Structures are given as C-alpha cells and as structure tokens.
C-alpha cells in the first residue's frame, strides 16, 4: 500500500502538471490569436480613426495602440492586457469587448447546451440500437439519418426550417430570441440573472415570455441538435460495435444475463470514457460553429457578434471572441478529463 504522504505528493504533482498544461495551452492560444490578428487584412488603426483621418492622426493612433513597436513587445502588451481582463474596446459598439461578450455569450451557451442535450439524448440510444441491430433495417435507417446530418449544410437546413415550420406552418417562432412585444416585457420585467432567457423567465415566473422564447429556440436548437445527433450516434455505434464483440459480452450472455443489462449497463459502461470525449468535442464545436446558425436565425449570440465584427473590421472584437471560443475548448477538455476519473477507476 502506498503511504499517505506519497499519495498526496503524486496528486500534488499531477495537479501541478495539469495547471502547467493548461497555462501552456492558454498561452499558445493567445499567441495564435495574436498572429491571426496580425495576418488578417484589417487595419485596426483605420477602423478607429476612419478613412478621412490625417497622417498625423493615423500615426498618433498607431502609437497609442503600440503597433509601431516590435512584434515581441506587442505580444507582451497583448498578453498583459488579456491576463488583466482587458480585451480591448469594440469599434462597432464602443463598449469593452469583455462586456459585449458577457452580454452575447449566454445566448450562444443556451443554444449550444439545448442542441447538445438533443444530440446526446437521441444520438446515444440511436447509436446503441444501430450497433445491436447491425446490418438490419434499423441500423441502415439510423446511419442514413446520420449521413444526412453530416451532408446537409447547417445554414441550408436553417433556411428550409424557417420556410416550412415558420413561414408555411407557423409552428415555431421566427428569427431572434423573442417576438418584439415579448422582448419589451422581458427588458422591463425580467431580471437578467444568468443571461439564458429560458432560465431567467422561469425564475421570474414570466411564463408567457418563456413560452414565446421556447418557440423561437426550438428550431435553431433542433438544427444544431441534428448535427450533434449525427456525430454522437455515429461514434456511439462505432464504440458499441467494438464492445459487443468482446469476450466479456459473450460470457455474460452465456451465463443468462438479460440482454438489456449486457448492452445498456456493461457494454455502454465501457464506452463512456471515449463517449465523454465525443460529447465534449461536439459541445465545443457547437459553441464555435454556431456562426451560420446564429446568422440565419438572427440569434444575438457570440457567433453573430464575431461575424458582424469581422465585416466591420472590428479586430478587437474578433480576437476577443476567438479567445473565448478557444478557452471554452480548453475548459471542456479539462471537464472531460475530470469526468474520466469519475466513470473509470483506472484513470484515478
């Protein structure tokens, strides 16, 4: 048995190594973001002073931004500002970028979370069912559904969904998070606690606004959820096929264990570790890949914010949004590593 001191020492070294890895990854993210900011053909000085500025005004603004210094010094200044929470000021909104992101990111987080829940709650059972019925009609149908999810562009599905379910049938709400009349009520009567409109309206008991918000989010979340479903179901099927051919499954069946327990407890339990990675990556992809969906549905989230900033030459907003998306990837990878230790004792 290892001594208590040795165990604590190993855990301390593990935590120190994890912290160093996270710090190095975040530093690499900042460096890549800095390089992208210098490669993008956008002049941040011109975006601030305008095209009619004099040469003296242009030079003064360039000096104020530190762009007349060496790249190494610029990166040091950029690193200092980001670590102090200063992502710059948006030339589009005239607000600090961090403040803008804090306002728009909850909308993206809400949309991606619901879409991920749809993908997981439907994709995992579909993947398991396809693996159990390998080669049969159900398997072929589930694989076909996943193929469509991979093949169809998200923006095209969104446009077709709006045309059919909103324009023709009227089953869902249109673009945006709320109808105009309900937006007025939401702005006046609902406290902004989380920024997630469904949670805030439920906490405030504003059920009319809640129902209206639900009609607006169901279609964009369904479109993104379909993409997530296709990915999750395909990977679940692949993992399950590998496990169903293992000897422990054959042994359990020979001993007379119920089939549902063999499949849903033992086989699925052994694919949870790689499946957690798949779900975390899917969630991260929805957080950063919802740009087209937010544009189609006029969803006021981070994706639409970055898109508008890019078209307006707002480099600070683009780089700030990129940092947030990259940080989300890092945190989700960390979360998946922690979940490994909960579901798999061998990883502890």
**How many other CB atoms are found less than 10 A from the CB of residue 313?**
18
Helix (H, G, I), strand (E, B) or coil at 96: strand
Phi-psi region of 184 (alpha: psi -120 to 50; beta: other; left: phi over 0): alpha
pLDDT of residue 198: 92
Q: Round to whole Å and give the CA distance between 243 and 237.
A: 10
Domain 97-347, CATH homologous superfamily name and number: MetI-like (1.10.3720.10)
pLDDT of residue 156: 86
Q: Taking a C-beta distance cutoff of 8 angstroms, is the pair 316, 87 a contact?
A: yes
pLDDT of residue 47: 67
| Residue in 348, 347, 302, 304 with CA at minimum distance from that of residue 327 | 302
**Structure confidence by residue, pLDDT tens digits, 179-234:** 888 888 888 888 888 888 999 999 988 899 999 999 999 999 999 999 899 999 99
Q: Worst-scoring range by mean pLDDT, 11-15, 166-170, 199-203, 275-279?
A: 11-15
Q: Round to whole Å and give the CA distance between 301 and 87.
A: 18
- DSSP output for 137-167: HHHHHHHHHHHHHHHS-HHHHHHHHIIIIII
CA quadruple 273, 29, 220, 192: dihedral positive or negative? Answer: positive
Mean pLDDT of 102-121: 92
Token pair of 98 as six digits: 């961090």
Q: Taking a C-beta distance cutoff of 8 angstroms, is the pair 340, 347 a contact?
A: yes
Mean pLDDT of 242-268: 86
Domain ranges of the chain: 4-83, 97-347
Residue 10 predicted with pLDDT over 80: no
**Structure confidence by residue, pLDDT tens digits, 14-40:** 677 777 888 888 888 888 888 877 777
Q: Worst-scoring range by mean pLDDT, 34-48, 134-148, 197-211, 265-279?
A: 34-48
pLDDT of residue 113: 92
∠ CA 93-103-31, nearest 5°, is 75
pLDDT of residue 241: 92
Mean pLDDT across the chain: 84
- The model's pTM is 0.84
Q: Round to whole Å and give the CA distance between 50 and 196.
A: 36
Q: Taking a C-beta distance cutoff of 8 angstroms, is the pair 328, 273 a contact?
A: no
Q: Round to whole Å and give the CA distance between 285 and 225.
A: 12
Mean pLDDT of 167-181: 88
**Structure confidence by residue, pLDDT tens digits, 124-138:** 999 999 999 988 999
Q: Round to whole Å and give the CA distance between 267 and 243.
A: 6
- Percentage of residues of the chain with pLDDT beyond 90: 22
Question: Hey, which residues does 96 pair with through a beta bridge?
Answer: 89
Helix (H, G, I), strand (E, B) or coil at 66: coil
| pLDDT-based confidence at residue 81 (cuts at 50, 70, 90) | confident
Residue located via tokens 């937010």: 294
Mean pLDDT of 60-69: 76
Mean pLDDT of 73-81: 85
| pLDDT-based confidence at residue 7 (cuts at 50, 70, 90) | low
Residue 4 predicted with pLDDT over 70: no
Q: Worst-scoring range by mean pLDDT, 103-117, 174-188, 261-275, 282-296?
A: 282-296
| Higher-scoring residue by pLDDT: 128, 67 | 128
Q: Round to whole Å and give the CA distance between 28 and 186.
A: 40
Q: Round to whole Å and give the CA distance between 169 and 280.
A: 35
Token pair of 125 as six digits: 């059972």
Mean pLDDT of 322-332: 85
pLDDT of residue 185: 84
């Amino acid at each position: 048995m290892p001594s208590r001191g040795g165990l604590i020492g190993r855990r301390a070294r593990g935590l120190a190594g994890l912290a160093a890895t996270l710090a190095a990854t975040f530093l690499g993210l900042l460096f890549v973001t800095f390089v992208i900011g210098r490669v993008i053909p956008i002049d941040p000085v011109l975006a601030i002073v305008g095209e009619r500025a004099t040469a003296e005004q242009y030079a003064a603004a360039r000096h104020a931004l530190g762009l007349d210094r060496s790249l190494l010094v610029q990166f040091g200044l950029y690193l200092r500002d980001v670590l102090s929470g200063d992502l710059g000021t948006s030339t589009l909104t005239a607000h600090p970028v961090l403040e803008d992101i804090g306002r728009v990111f909850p909308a993206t987080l809400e949309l991606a979370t619901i879409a991920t829940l749809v993908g997981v709650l439907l994709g995992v059972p579909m993947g398991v069912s396809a693996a159990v019925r390998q080669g049969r009609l159900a398997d072929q149908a589930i694989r076909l559904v996943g193929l469509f999810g991979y093949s169809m562009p998200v923006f095209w599905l969104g446009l077709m969904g709006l045309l059919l379910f909103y324009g023709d049938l009227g089953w869902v709400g249109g673009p945006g998070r709320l109808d105009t009349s309900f937006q007025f009520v939401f702005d006046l009567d609902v406290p902004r606690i989380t920024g997630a409109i469904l949670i805030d309206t439920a906490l405030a008991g504003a059920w009319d606004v809640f129902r209206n918000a639900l009609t607006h989010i169901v279609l964009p979340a369904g479109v993104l959820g379909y993409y997530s479903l296709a990915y999750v179901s395909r990977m679940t099927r692949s993992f399950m096929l590998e496990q169903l051919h293992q000897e422990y499954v054959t042994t359990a069946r020979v001993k007379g264990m119920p089939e549902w327990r063999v499949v849903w407890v033992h086989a699925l339990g052994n694919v949870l570790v790689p499946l957690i990675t798949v779900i975390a990556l899917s969630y991260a992809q929805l957080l950063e890949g919802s740009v087209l969906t937010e544009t189609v549905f006029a969803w006021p989230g981070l994706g639409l914010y970055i898109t508008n900033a890019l078209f307006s030459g707002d480099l600070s907003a683009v780089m700030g949004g990129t940092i947030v998306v990259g940080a989300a990837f890092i945190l989700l990878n960390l979360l998946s590593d922690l979940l490994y230790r909960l579901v798999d004792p061998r990883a502890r």
